Structure 1
Amino acid sequence: MPSSHLKNMHKRHEKIVDLLRQYESCNVSVLAQELGVSTVTIRHDLDELEQSGCIRRSYGRATLSQNFSFELEFREKENIRSESKQLIARRAADLVENGDSIIVDSGSTVALLARYIASNKKITLMTNALNLASELVADPRFTVMMTGGTLRADSYSLCGPEAEQAVRLHHFNKLFIGADGIDLLAGVSTTNAQDAQLNRAMLAACDQIILLSDSSKFGKRSFCVICKMPQVDILVTDSGISDEYRQALTQMGVTVIVAE
């Protein structure tokens, strides 16, 4: 499928989700009119969103699934479950070794990681997060690289083809990444298509994939899949993880670390 077609489809999916958030439910004809496309196209989009678990359809109308994960602005995310996020970031920092080259994705939990890395370690760190780069600009522990790309003001992050190309030109020991949703079947997901595409480039450029997430993200799905769970090497989470989730992830080959 051509990249332009995929981009248009993802934009429509995002708009559909926005409309369902605004109106709670919509029928096909209203969505087609709002997006300026045919009802056939809308039905195909709704099929995709329903299969991914993002929406529910009943009596000709679509509504968001209760398990759908919304994107919040960065400052909103910072204030949610902040204690758990600090515990997770502190524990994840222990996984960084002296001399490592790492990618740290944008996100409220992974943004805390760098401050907990031991002072005697020297690290090369690439990030697409403006807030993180500005925090580390004078920190002697880090050689900081930025991806470049297009700025997303709501997440303080860079994305797009330029960011993806910058990642592909390098190789790293570890990737520290967050998520908007984590589902045993759907995998790791986020709400933004460009973020997901950059995240997939990051996965391909790293030896080890380390996912940082508080337990509130479990069972949640967004419509942009980053990867399936078996691709994750290590999950660092909080004590809210259920025995069912922990056992299932372990069977998939994911090492689960509970930060307490």
Structure 2
Amino acid sequence: MTQPTSKYSEEILRRVDMMGTVSVQELSQIMGVSDQTIRRVTRPLAERGALSKVHGALVSTKSALDPPFLSRMSLNREAKVAIAHAVVEIVQDGDSLTIDTGSTSAFIAQMLRKRRKLTVVTNSAFVASTLAMIPGNNVSMAGTQLRDHDSASFDRSAFQVVERAQVDYCVLSASMVHPESGFLIHEQCEVDMAFAMMNCASRSIMAVDASKFQPQARKPALRQPKLNKGDILVTNVTPPDAFRHMLAELEIQIAD
């Protein structure tokens, strides 16, 4: 018993570190073992800190190195996984959506691997590659030229692809939330892409973790598009009272 468990442990850690986060069910299918085996083997791994377990998902505890996008994915990782889990409960098999390039959106894309027959339009190569090989999915990569720090595209063709779409949801993220200015971000091209994604979606989902409600060392200067009445905010804590007026018309879902 000890030997196969050791082999499973090494394989599980390798795959979790490679994927960042993966559900117990998906990992059991990949490895060809039962969910119970995955849970049994990962229990001691989690106890010694080799990985984390959040909402039925296994999360790598390794710090990301060098690429800024991967570094951002390592920040507040458990909160982002919880948010991703909540978003996936909103999106159902067969839905269509656009997804932006934020690190939280990357976790959402990983969790969306449990869904089937999705139609996805994204300007993120990470999101596109995560979802493209799921059987039945229809994934469109918007754009041709990728940024070096996050593999996202904002060229003319990226906007053309998004503007031709018509989807159920758009999934957005932000760098900071301000009680008066709203959802903020650093780059104008990201604001423009958010407008394009919202315009082709029936409903928007804004996914931000609790840290975004706090002042940032480098304050973003650009406003994201204002969300519409009935759009959804998914976060991992109840927003502070100072944000109550700004968020009054939104459906707020707290991932715990």
TM-score range, shorter-chain basis?
Answer: 0.5 to 0.7
Q: CA deviation at 1:184?
A: 2.6
Q: Quick one: which of 166, 170, 176 aligns to 2:165? A: 170
Q: Provide the rounded CA distance (Å) in 2 between the counterparts of 1:198 and 1:250.
A: 22
1:81 equivalent in alignment to 2:76: yes
Residue of structure 2 in register with 1:11 after alignment: none
1:81-160 counterparts in 2 under 5 A? 81-117=76-112, 119=114, 121-160=116-155
Residue of structure 1 in register with 2:222 after alignment: 224
Greater relative contact order (CA < 8 Å, ≥ 6 in sequence): 1
Q: Quick one: which of 172, 177, 185 aligns to 1:182? A: 177
Asked whether the 8 Å contact 2:84–2:107 carries over to 1, the reply is yes
Q: Provide the rounded CA distance (Å) in 2 between the counterparts of 1:211 and 1:168.
A: 19
Asked whether the 8 Å contact 2:113–2:134 carries over to 1, the reply is no
Deviations 1:100-122 (A, max 9, x none): 11001111111111332374632
1:179-218 counterparts in 2 under 5 A? 179-218=174-213
Residue of structure 1 in register with 2:231 after alignment: 233
Asked whether the 8 Å contact 1:188–1:229 carries over to 2, the reply is no
Say which SS state the counterpart of residue 84 (structure 1) adopts.
Answer: helix
Q: Provide the rounded CA distance (Å) in 1 between the counterparts of 2:99 and 2:214.
A: 24
1:257 equivalent in alignment to 2:225: no
How many residues are matched?
Answer: 187
Asked whether the 8 Å contact 1:184–1:229 carries over to 2, the reply is no
Residue of structure 1 in register with 2:40 after alignment: none
Provide structure 1 residue ranges, at least 5 long, that are not aligned to the other structure. Answer: 1-71
Deviations 1:133-166 (A, max 9, x none): 2222321152111111431111221112221111
Deviates more, 1:220-229 or 1:86-95: 220-229
Asked whether the 8 Å contact 2:184–2:223 carries over to 1, the reply is yes
1:40-55 counterparts in 2 under 5 A? none
Deviates more, 1:217-226 or 1:164-173: 217-226
Say which SS state the counterpart of residue 117 (structure 1) adopts.
Answer: helix
Q: Structure 2 vs 1, CA of residues 160 and 258 (structure 1 numbering), >3 Å: closer, same or farther?
A: same
Whichever residue aligns with residue 245 of structure 2, its letter is A
Residue of structure 1 in register with 2:240 after alignment: 242
Q: Provide the rounded CA distance (Å) in 1 between the counterparts of 2:230 and 2:75.
A: 24
Provide structure 2 residue ranges, at least 5 long, that are not aligned to the other structure. Answer: 1-66
Residue of structure 2 in register with 1:25 after alignment: none
Say which SS state the counterpart of residue 153 (structure 1) adopts.
Answer: coil
Q: Structure 2 vs 1, CA of residues 152 and 178 (structure 1 numbering), >3 Å: closer, same or farther?
A: same
Q: Provide the rounded CA distance (Å) in 2 between the counterparts of 1:173 and 1:241.
A: 26
Deviations 1:80-126 (A, max 9, x none): 00000000001011111222110011111111113323746321011
Q: Structure 2 vs 1, CA of residues 142 and 133 (structure 1 numbering), >3 Å: closer, same or farther?
A: same
Residue of structure 2 in register with 1:6 after alignment: none
Q: CA deviation at 1:129?
A: 0.9
